[in-house]
Chain A
Amino acid sequence: MADATALLQLRGISKGFPGVKALSDVQLTIRRGEIHSLMGENGAGKSTLIKVLTGVYRRDGGEILLNGTSIDARSPEEAQRLGISTVYQEVNLIPHLSVAENICLGRQTTTLGFLKWKEIRQRAEKALARLGIEIDVTETVSNYSIAIQQLVAIARALDIDAKVLILDEPTSSLDEKEVEALFTVLRKLKAEGLGIVFVTHFLDQVYAVSDRITVLRNGTYVGEYEAALLPRLQLISKMMGKELSELEMKAADRVATKAGVTPFLKLKQVGRKGSLKPLDLEIAAGEIVGLSGLLGSGRTETARIVFGLDRADCGELQLDGKAISITSPRQASGLKFGFCPEDRKVQAIIPNLSVRENIVLALQANRGWMGYVSRPTQIQLADKFIKALNIKTPNPEQPIRLLSGGNQQKVILARWLASNPRLLILDEPTRGIDVGAKLEIEKLMAQLTGEGMAILFISSDLEETVRNSHRVVVLRDRQKVCELRGEEISEKNIMHAIAASDSDQ
């Protein structure tokens, strides 16, 4: 009987924020003794759902049943008292306290207000023993590795009588061996009858431990599946909202493949420990190379290395046949690289400065502080790009923060175009902008490559990737899995490549 084993049930959950419907009619059922993966692309509503469940947000509608009784947690503390514990991606322990103190913090046993240290230590040791770990609990937490800290956080979460354990991206900063150790612990807890919710982007890990999978997309419930009965390809197609049958690509929709141009930038086995496994990548003038893969697959990580934001710790970068090392965005910009980052608000716009100043910034930074771009030239540049990119702003002196997302994105594009780059890296350039602006940006990409610019194009939108790329490099789990060219480029092939498990390789 399904209901007898249902430990936690979320029914018809909806949650809105001003201007956005984050969740509508979402459900999730966790049974005793199961590991349940919650899957979805960026913006699918996973973290909102978890925040609703743990009392960080108040839900607008729906019902949460724990052991058949309706609950309504108003804070994470209350949720924890009810038996729902959460461990976040960023370990939130207090680094300078001991392991024992961290585990027992806020629920110490006292006599007349005095701490009973011996009991606290024993309790911590017992909590860790449950996970099969033996460490010195009097040692300061920050002296242990991230993996151990993660386990301590889990021990802390389990110290009270947890019934449901939620793990939000627990493996992002762990290496393979540490992940395996974590999974051993999870299987042990599962055997004890705990319900475990597991959120991750790594497909291999989902299939390694999950019993069931719930998929969300755009804030709606797609379905619940038995992990063993859901092929990877099906899972990806459900996450991305594409039926496999839809995916036969019409050749006419796609740009023609470039041939016979020598690449000017080559990455040879370039990698970085913890973020990207060594990969090869080449790009030639006039070429759009698409980087495809799920979030966290290494797309942005590749871009960051090329633009000098992170340093590669192995392999070689070659520019025009010469080995180079790029150590800062300033240097990359000097090599005529440009980068429109993914997080527009944090990484791109200078909110209170004008459209004109935002456009001029990269060019000016390139010329240095003595190479002042005169005011008339600045105004000319701003006017030119406002017209060319159809940026909607009352005047060039408008602070950029007052523009819409799409227009902000165009200003950031203009910033790099003004510095006339030979390689432009676009990380999700069309996210969160309206359809009109999207089409304009795609048109612009074609025009720029026609003039000889090379574009490294990162997008979660498969259709967009297929439509615009001359070549597509597919990444999975921080690793390049294949490169598609010409007729091979299709949504179906990309999905197959993303879905293939390591053993298929």
Chain B
Amino acid sequence: MNSAFNSPTWHKLKWPLAALMLVLLYNYFYTPGFFQIEMKAGRLFGSLIDVLNRAAPVMIISLGMTLVIATGGVDLSVGAVMAISGAIAALLIAKGFALPLVLMISLGVAIVAGVWNGLLIGYFKVPPIVATLILMVSGRGVAQLLTGGNHIPFKHAGFEFIGRGYLAAIPFAAVLTLLLFITFVIISKRTAAGLFIEATGDNEVASRYAGVQTRVVQFAVYAACSLCAGIAGLIATANLAEADPSAAGIGLELDAILAVVIGGTALQGGRYFLAGSLMGAILLQTLTTTILTRGVPTQWTQVVKALVIIIVCLLQSEVFRRSFQRKPATA
């Protein structure tokens, strides 16, 4: 943390942070009550809390997606994995399984899905877009087959807590996000995993020559990403108290990828920024919430999102910024 304002992390984080501040500033002046937080029955309520709660699934997925993108890959199957883990959890609850078993099995299946991706990509050298596209399409089909194409509603206070509960007055999903973030940071900074992932993404051949087991790295990141998607699936399912495999996690893969890119991790791989990805996810959700609370027709949501994202990405582009730097004046 020495000379924090000079570190590469800060240089990457300042642009999404600035964009987030701008959107918040806009809300401060134009959206009455946006910053109001109330305590009701031991729980915090307000737009900001709502943003954190709703952004939780994308934030969690973006953590895993960050690692995948850092290796130079991408995972399009996260939405489908959400649908699968949610469907399995709902089915198991309906069959009366105990909660720990429900969690273990549904998340276990998510990890298996990630290992499958890792196998195709790391071992058989299928391009990541193709490999995960297969699971993106087929995975949702599998989820729908599991539920027979129906919604599976359930009542289970313990499971619903994951999506609706509060811990120390904060939504449990937000707490879970924070815990996962801390775990990912520790793994990145206190083990060699971070170095291996960045090295693999930056130059896979040279990493292998240096003795890094690049295949194992690829297995691990896709498994981690799928696990994150599985957790996000449980949150979404618990929040609705029903599994809806045809709608769960639709389009979320793109939000997660956007969050990672806004956060400063390059799609070519290499250096990654977990905090940046979280900030990207929060920015996306703040925009959505702002548009909704301002009463702007929802059709505008995607357009406004796109505009903000273009601006952040351009600001991150060195070529773009350099084109605005004045040449030294000649006397």
The yes or no verdict on A and B being binding partners is yes
Q: Which residues of B contact A330 (CB under 8 A)?
A: 211-213
Q: Is the CB of B211 within 8 A of A366?
A: yes
Q: Does A361 contact B (CB under 8 A)?
A: yes
B206 interface neighbour in A309, A350, A373, Cβ under 8 Å: A350
A349 interface hit (Cβ, 8 Å):
yes
Q: Is B219 in contact with chain A by the CB < 8 A criterion?
A: no
Residues of A within 8 A of B193 (CB): 369
Partner of B207, one of A328, A332, A350: A350
Interface hits, B189-240 → A, CB 8 Å: 190-193, 195-196, 198-199, 202-203, 205-213
Kindly state the separation between the CA atoms of A357 and B195 in the bound complex, as whole angstroms: 7
| Contact of B210 (CB < 8 Å), options: A352, A361, A368, A371 | A361
B140 at interface, CB cutoff 8 A: no
B206–A333 CB distance below 8 A? no
A330 to B, closest residue via Cβ = B211
Task: Report, as a range, how many residues of chain A touch the other chain.
Answer: 20 to 34
Residue of A with least CB distance to B7: A397
Whether A364 and B208, one on each chain, are in contact in the complex, defined by CB atoms closer than 8 angstroms, is no
The reply on A259 being an interface residue by CB < 8 A is: no
Q: CB of B54 within 8 A of chain A?
A: no
Q: From B198, which residue of chain A is reached at the shortest CB distance? A: A353
Shortest distance between the CB of A177 and any CB in chain B (Å) = 32
Residues of A within 8 A of B196 (CB): 364-365, 369
**Chain A residues with CB under 8 A of B199:** 350, 353, 357, 361
The answer to whether B209 and A352 touch across the interface, beta carbons within 8 angstroms, is: no
The answer to whether A361 touches B195, judged by C-beta atoms less than 8 angstroms apart, is yes
Instruction: Verify if B270 is at the interface (C-beta below 8 Å from A).
Output: yes
- From known contacts A330-B213, A352-B271, infer whether A361 and B191 are also in contact, taking CB-CB under 8 Å: no
Whether A348 lies near B206 (C-beta < 8 A) is: yes
Contact with B along A347-389 (1 / 0, CB 8 A): 1111111000100111011111111110000000000000000
Contact (Cβ within 8 A) B202 A365: no
Is A329 an interface residue, CB under 8 A from the partner? Answer: yes
- Cα distance, A339 to B203, chains bound together (Å): 16
Instruction: Check B195 against A329 for contact (C-beta < 8 Å).
Output: no
Contact assessment for A369 and B191 in the assembled complex, using a CB-CB cutoff below 8 Å:
yes
B206 contact set on A, CB distance < 8 A: 346-350
| Residue from the list A309, A351, A357, A366 in contact with B209, Cβ < 8 A | A309
Which residues of A lie under 8 Å from residue B207 when comparing CB positions? 350, 361, 365
* Beta-carbon contact of B208 and A353 below 8 Å: no
| Inter-chain contacts of B192 with A (CB < 8 A) | 364-365, 367-373
Chain B residues with CB under 8 Å of A357's CB are 195, 198-199
Determine whether the beta carbon of B211 is less than 8 Å from that of A329: yes
Among A350, A362, A366, A367, residue most surrounded by chain B Cβ atoms (within 10 Å): A350
- Taking the complex as formed, is A278 at the interface, i.e. its CB lies under 8 A from any CB of chain B? no
Docked-complex contact B271 and A348, CB < 8 angstroms: no
CB contacts (< 8 Å) of A339 on chain B: these are 209
Most A CB within 10 A of own CB, among B193, B199, B210: B210
Contacts of B209 in A (CB 8 A): 309, 329, 339, 341, 347-348
User: Chain B contact residues (Cβ within 8 angstroms of A): what range?
Assistant: 20 to 34
- Measured CB to CB, the nearest residue on chain A to B203 is A350
Find chain A residues with CB under 8 A from B202 CB.
Answer: 350-353
Q: Which of A296-321 contact B (CB under 8 A)?
A: 309
Which A residues between 367 and 426 are near B, CB-CB below 8 angstroms?
Answer: 367-373, 415
B215 to chain A, nearest CB (A): 10
Contact of B195 among A328, A352, A364, A415 (CB under 8 A): A364
* In the bound complex, CA of A332 to CA of B211 (Å): 8
Q: CA separation between A486 and B190, bound complex, in Å?
A: 51
- Residues of B contacting A333 with CB < 8 Å? 210-211
Bound Cα distance from A74 to B208, whole angstroms = 40
Whether A415 contacts B198 by the Cβ 8 Å rule is no
Q: Is the CB of B213 within 8 A of A352?
A: no
Inter-subunit contact B212/A372 (CB<8 Å): no
B189 to chain A: closest residue by CB:
A375
Q: Is the CB of B190 within 8 A of A372?
A: yes
- When chains A and B are docked, how far (Å) is the Cα of A334 from the Cα of B270? 25
Most-contacted residue by chain A among B191, B205, B211 (CB, 10 A)? B211
Query: In the complex, are the beta carbons of B190 and A361 less than 8 A apart?
Result: no
Q: Which chain A residue has the least Cβ–Cβ distance from B213?
A: A330
Output the nearest chain A residue to B220 by Cβ-Cβ distance. A369
Q: How far is the CA of A486 from the CA of B150 in the complex (A)?
A: 83
Q: Which of A346, A365, A368 contacts B205 (CB 8 A)?
A: A346
Q: How far is the CA of A330 from the CA of B212 in the complex (A)?
A: 6
Distance in Å from the Cβ of B237 to the closest Cβ of chain A? 32
Give Cα distance in the complex from A329 to B198, angstroms: 19
> Most chain-B CB neighbours within 10 Å: which of A309, A361, A366?
A361
A:267-302 near B, CB below 8 Å: none
Contact indicator A352/B270 (Cβ below 8 Å)? yes
The contact string, 1 if C-beta is below 8 Å from chain B, for chain A 335-350, is 0000101000011111
Q: How far is the CA of A59 from the CA of B21 in the complex (A)?
A: 55
Question: A114 CA to B210 CA in the complex, in Å?
Answer: 55
Q: Given known contacts A348-B206, A352-B202, is B212 in contact with A360 (CB within 8 Å)?
A: no
Indicate which residue in B191, B205, B271 contacts A372 across the interface (CB closer than 8 Å). Answer: B191
Across the interface, name the chain A residue whose C-beta is closest to B200.
A350
Q: In the bound complex, how far is the Cα of B210 from the Cα of A334, in angstroms?
A: 11
Chain B residue contacts of A351, Cβ below 8 A: 202-203
Cα A373 to Cα B207 in complex, Å, equals: 17
B208 — nearest CB in chain A belongs to which residue?
A329
- The complex places the Cα of A315 from the Cα of B191 at a distance, in Å, of 40
Tell me the smallest distance from the CB of B216 to a CB of chain A, in Å: 9
Q: Shortest CB–CB separation between residue B122 and chain A, in angstroms?
A: 14
**Cβ of B211: which chain A residues have Cβ within 8 Å of it?**
329-330, 332-334, 361-362, 365-366
Complex CA gap A371/B190 in Å reads: 10
Do the beta carbons of B210 and A362 come within 8 Å of each other?
yes
Cβ distance A374 to chain B, nearest Cβ, rounded Å? 9
A362 / chain B contacts, CB cutoff of 8 Å: 210-211
Chain B residues whose CB sits within 8 angstroms of the CB of A348 once the complex forms: 206, 209-210
Greatest chain A CB density within 10 A among B190, B192, B271 is at B192
Q: Across the two chains, which residue of chain A brings its CB closest to B8? A: A397
For A344, give the chain B residue with the smallest CB separation: B206
A361 to B193, CA, bound (A): 11
Which residues from 167 to 209 on chain B have a C-beta closer than 8 Å to any C-beta of chain A?
190-193, 195-196, 198-199, 202-203, 205-209
On chain B, the residues within 8 Å of A368 by CB distance are 192
B213/A349 in contact, CB under 8 A: no
- Rounded to whole angstroms, the CA-CA distance of A476 and B261 in the bound complex is 51
Q: Could you name 18 residue pairs across A and B whose Cβ atoms are closer than 8 Å?
A: A329-B208, A329-B210, A330-B212, A339-B209, A346-B205, A346-B206, A349-B203, A350-B206, A351-B202, A353-B195, A357-B199, A361-B195, A361-B199, A365-B192, A365-B210, A366-B211, A370-B192, A372-B191
On A, residues with C-beta under 8 Å from B are 309, 328-330, 332-334, 339, 341, 346-353, 357, 360-362, 364-373, 415
Interface of B toward A, CB cutoff 8 Å: 190-193, 195-196, 198-199, 202-203, 205-213, 270-271
**With A330-B211, A347-B205 already in contact, 5 other A-B pairs whose C-beta atoms are closer than 8 Å:** A333-B211, A347-B209, A364-B195, A369-B196, A372-B192
Closest 4 A/B residue pairs (Cβ):
A333-B211, A365-B211, A369-B192, A365-B212
